[in-house]
Amino acid sequence: MIRVVMNRCFSLVVVALVVMAATVGCGEPEDGAPVIKGFEWRLQNGGTEANLRGVCAVSREIAWFSGSDGTVGKTVDGGANWESFRVPGAEEVDFRDIEAFDDMVAVIMGVASPAMFYKTVDGGESWKLVYKNNAEEVFFNSMGFWDRKNGIAVSDPVGGRFLLVRTADGGDTWKEIAPRHSPVPVPGEAQFAASGTCLRTRGDSDVWFVTGGAAARLFYSKDRGEGWDVFDAPIIEGASSEGIFSVAFRDGLCGIVTGGDYKKVDQPLDVAAMTHDGGKTWTRAGEGQIGGLRECAVFFDGPYRDCLLAIGPSGADFSVNCGVDWTATPVKDIHSISAVPGETSGWGVGAAGKIVHFRAMF
């Protein structure tokens, strides 16, 4: 139903920007926690030159990445050492998203026809093909999991509707959601597989995905994709290179969408918006403060649940007050970031094998 409304890391410190950040509105950290003043970024060596767009921070010690040329990698010691490898038989697949549950189990998403998903249960020593789609139009953009068993992934339109697939067994098998439950795009509407974050899951059943091209819209389901609400968002749209690239929700009501134009990465207008009612209404965010295309945005957990970090090829910005005010943090050429659960730290990945570890400065 559709309702329309391997290697030792470089210990090079890229930069640590320490600036005072505004703490108005909802920005006071909970439980008397100190205010975030900036972020420190450290470059790490992942042992690959692949273009990386998938990253999943499992803990302070464990993180995984994925990218072009069938490349996957992981660290189990906080980034001091990374192991990278290519999935046998998938050396030409571009893995744009990865979901990992620990140091042994991970699922990777290949984007284009044939679109192929693989799973490992032995830390990357072996991989099992768990889903394949040969449709000419198929192009998967992002996936997410509600728990270790239940997940969902979204593709550009196939046969006139967005293609959604779900798993109920940890990614071992995937089934398409019936077309009658799949949203219908407007002509020229699609998604961006820039960061693996154009779809997000939350709680037991919430899922959102966002679009671009002819329309910049937010799609929301409260029941794991059985029914959808659709909302317009004030992000640049029209050209195939414009639209929403990332979505993140702090809870069921407070969320952010970010995007822009990948052909004009420094263009700063209409690249971010905040909602406090689940997407029904929006306020433009970061006008004059966010410096261009932002392909990925994340909320932090715990006492810093009002804090945001948004990143893209032209730079990165953070907010400590639910997107009211933004401050630049000078790191560039990063496509995607993932925060460690419950922490204000994590990893980012980018082109030519770039990996950075970030942590908040107080």
Confidence of residue 15 (pLDDT cuts 50, 70, 90): very low
Highest-confidence segment of 15-19, 146-150, 300-304: 146-150
The least confident of 23-27, 65-69, 83-87, 167-171 is 23-27
Cα-Cα-Cα-Cα torsion 320, 321, 327, 330, nearest 10 degrees, comes to: 40
Instruction: Decide if pLDDT at 18 tops 70.
Output: no
- Cis peptide bond prior to 313, omega within 30° of 0: no
Site of tokens 């410096």: 291
**Of the candidates 82, 137, 73, which has an alpha carbon nearest to the alpha carbon of residue 106?**
73
Instruction: Decide if pLDDT at 248 tops 80.
Output: yes
Site of tokens 């050492």: 81
Return the pLDDT at 30: 67
Count of all residues that appear for the chain in the document: 362
Return the pLDDT at 8: 32
Instruction: Decide if pLDDT at 301 tops 50.
Output: yes
Q: What is the pLDDT of residues 159-203, one digit of tens each?
A: 999 999 999 999 999 999 999 999 999 999 999 999 999 999 999
How far apart are the C-alpha atoms of 267 and 274, rounded to whole Å?
A: 19
- Name 180's Cβ contacts closer than 8 Å, sequence gap at least 6: none
Confidence of residue 33 (pLDDT cuts 50, 70, 90): confident
Return the pLDDT at 341: 96
Instruction: Decide if pLDDT at 21 tops 60.
Output: no
Query: What is the reported pTM?
Result: 0.92
Instruction: Decide if pLDDT at 50 tops 70.
Output: yes
Please report the beta strands in 159-307, taking only residues with DSSP state E, as ranges in sequence order.
161-167, 175-176, 189-190, 199-202, 206-210, 212-213, 217-221, 228-232, 242-249, 255-261, 272-275, 283-284, 296-299
The single-letter DSSP state of residue 93 is -
How far apart are the C-alpha atoms of 352 and 263, rounded to whole Å?
A: 19
SS3 call for 56:
strand
Site of tokens 């905040």: 274
Contact 246, 261 (CB under 8 A): no
Token pair for 103: 């140091």
Return the pLDDT at 32: 76
Tally of structural domains, the chain: 1
- 274 pairs with which residues across the strands? 256, 283
| pLDDT mean across residues, the chain | 92
Contact 339, 327 (CB under 8 A): no
Return the pLDDT at 2: 38
Instruction: Decide if pLDDT at 239 tops 70.
Output: yes
| 152: containing domain | 2-361
The larger pLDDT score, comparing residue 256 to residue 14, is at 256
How far apart are the C-alpha atoms of 250 and 298, rounded to whole Å?
A: 9
How far apart are the C-alpha atoms of 262 and 353, rounded to whole Å?
A: 20
Return the pLDDT at 67: 98
Query: Which CATH number covers residue 12?
Result: 2.130.10.10
Q: What is the pLDDT of residues 83-134, one digit of tens each?
A: 999 999 999 999 999 999 999 999 999 999 799 999 999 999 999 999 999 9
Confidence of residue 7 (pLDDT cuts 50, 70, 90): very low
Please count the CA atoms within 13 angstroms of the CA of 244 that sit on its side-chain side: 29
Return the pLDDT at 25: 37
SS3 call for 269:
coil
